[in-house]
Amino acid sequence: MTQGRPALRWWILAPLCLGAGLVAGRWLPRGSQATSWPLASEAASPAVAGVPSFAPIVERARGAVVGVRAVVDKNATPGGGKVEDDVPDTRTAIQGTGFLIDPRGLVVTNHHLVAGCKLLRVAIPGYRVREAEVVGEDAVTDIAVLRIKDAPADLPCLRLGDSHRLRQGDWVVTVGNPYEFRMSVAAGIVSYVARHLSHGRTGVTRAYLQFSAPAHPGSSGAPVLDLEGNVVGVTTLAVPGGQGITFAVPSRVLQWVLDSFERHGGRVRRGFLGIEFGQNAQGDTVGALVGDVREGSPAAAAGLRPGDVITRFDGREVVDALELHDWITCATPGSEVRLHVLRNGQGSEVSGVKIGEVGDPARPAKD
């Protein structure tokens, strides 16, 4: 009986050991065999996870994004480009970005890159560097259009999208040349759709597109693209020290500037009334308060006074001074408009208000 006990123990322990071995073989790695942990290739792709891939957008845009190199007087303010030191002592070279909008060689870029330039060159992907000339420029919106000399035939170009369709939180992509690192891609979201920035003494200016993709010297003039690859903005400036706070000229404004260039020989004509806007009283929800009226201006000739509230402009309801400012500047100089004005609580129609022009030498350029 005592000799049979060890054998009995083995009959009991053997299945237990076998089971333990099977469990260990299932969960522990053996040599070069794979473990049961998920491999990187098995992880969900960014698209599956809900994050879009920007590669198709970049692939379509890369051929139309160009480098811009402008040589200007050193006394001129570069305004954000990358300054080069390998040029003659009396000149400074500024590097920036632009993009083709016409297969015949028309390029959109920033005005501050080419203002006062004596020599202008454009680097086209896949082609040698070519000289260019400025054919349209507007300092107020910081937009310039260049024509490439001896441009290759059928160049790729980008399409303009509708910036009014953008929503706060939408993805946008930029392709530019920061610090001369060609074809650098950055992505971000629309931080604010229509950010009005103070400009001079007027207190308001045209709305800018604010987005979170970073901009650096050399990024000026880079296209801002929506997820369909359309241009919805032109990078123009970044807040110093404010990483991820970048502004662009919206495509709607760009289209208006391009149309004006075509109609007026490469320049922009803006409407002018001579109004300084005030702050509406608390509780007022619509209309633009007239804070001051410039002497001798079209607004003065129409009989407008400080304290008036403009509620309609040529039949359109005025929500605030920001909106009215845009409508005035977009109006054709010399045309006549109708205003609906509240004065001391009483409304009246003012017709035949003649739109002046910003930049008229007879008065300061002011809305």
Which positions are catalytic?
Answer: 112, 142, 220
Residue 276, by phi and psi: left (phi above 0), alpha (psi -120 to 50) or beta? beta
Q: Among candidates 118, 110, 116, which has minimal Cα distance to 76?
A: 116
Tell me 295's DSSP state: T
Q: How far apart are CA 36 and CA 220, in angstroms?
A: 50
Q: How far apart are CA 271 and CA 298, in angstroms?
A: 10
Q: Among candidates 1, 219, 257, 240, which has minimal Cα distance to 99?
A: 219
Q: How far apart are CA 249 and CA 240, in angstroms?
A: 18
| Contact (CB, 8 A) for 367 and 328 | yes
Q: How far apart are CA 147 and CA 124, in angstroms?
A: 12
Q: What is the largest CA-CA distance in the chain?
A: 127
Q: What is the rounded radius of gyration, in angstroms, for the C-alpha atoms of the chain?
A: 31
DSSP string, 73-90: ETTS---SSEEESSS-TT
Q: How far apart are CA 304 and CA 298, in angstroms?
A: 9
